[in-house]
Amino acid sequence: MFKNRLITALVLAPLVIAAVLLLKPTAFSAVWGGVILLAAWEWADVSGVESRTGRIAFLVALGVPMASASFWAPYTVDWLMWPVVAWWFAVGMLLRARPDKALAIRLPVGLKLGLGWFILLTSWILFIWLRFNFGAAQALYLLVLISFADIAAYFVGRRWGFTKLMPEISPGKTVEGLYGALAVSAILAVAVGLWFKLEPLTIADFVILSLVTVVISVGGDLFESLLKRQRGVKDSGSLLPGHGGVLDRIDALLASVAVFYAGSMLLGLFLQTAEPVTIEVPTDMEGAPVQVEPIQPESGEAAPEPMGQEEAEPEASDAGAEESAPEE
């Protein structure tokens, strides 16, 4: 099984890296959307939807808002991550405090589908925002962080794992494996911070954010394990040899992306200059496009407002004040 897992990872890794680093916004959104829809098919199955028609209907219900994201997403960019963060923190506290009670909760199929719709849709848009608002390096770092944490937990758990983390839900996970994942994540965060020449205090913030992200990612993994155990299946699918289904591979990412995005935004943490993504092109009074300067995150200052073609009349101000930019 480990051999199949390794081969699959070696095949997928270059494709994932190329997609994150090279694809333009539309192509990246479509590819990541395809992955989400594959995971949605498996989520419907794990939720208890038996019929193919029911699963297709779930895909349509998810695909419609994804296809129309350009209309609604700009209005949610400032707050969408917060209900997702609140959800995963609540799930983590419930699983940590009462795993037996969580396992005994039998949610209706419709509620499971609703949760899946919410989790998959928000994870899709938040990872896109992370990629194009914070840069390819930041999105790739999140993927590498989750992968390294998973690998470390696997090997440390096999070698030194004796204390079960939550045997009621996932018998294979150990406390020692979690500590190993956190240790490797801290080392990775420091190394990446030094590579990008971040300030020492910023590196400390980056390490803390990375550790919190890994802890929440474990909660996402455990939540999917909870659904699978209630369904009576080991894997969400069989598309990826050695890994199970697509949902098995991205469950940790689904939980962690909101926390990592929110933390990056609060801390003003940029590993590189992000690519500016313009939803609507601003124009001057005559309808000609105005060039918008990209954000310069290193300086911590917002980008200057674009100037029009003609200077506006100065507003009434104190002596020596500068002329204001023209209103558009």
Contacts of 100 (CB under 8 A, 6+ apart): 168
Cα 321 versus chain centre, distance = 45
Tens of pLDDT, residue by residue over 164-175, are 999 889 888 999
Report CA-CA distances (Å) from 206 to 21, 150, 217, 324.
21, 19, 16, 38
Q: How far apart are CA 163 and CA 160, in angstroms?
A: 9
- Residues 129 and 261: their CA atoms lie apart, in Å, by 8
Radius of gyration of the chain (CA): 22
Is the distance from CB of 116 to CB of 40 less than 8 angstroms? yes
**0.85 surpassed by pTM:** no
Out of 111-120, 160-169, 177-186, pick the least confident.
Answer: 160-169
For residue 258, what are its two tokens? 């909101």
Instruction: Tell me the pLDDT tens digit for each residue of 192-235.
Output: 999 999 999 999 999 999 999 999 999 999 999 999 998 888 88
The dihedral through the CA atoms of 304, 310, 312, 318 has a sign that is: positive
For residue 289, the cross-strand partners are 283
Distance CA 206, CA 214 (A): 12
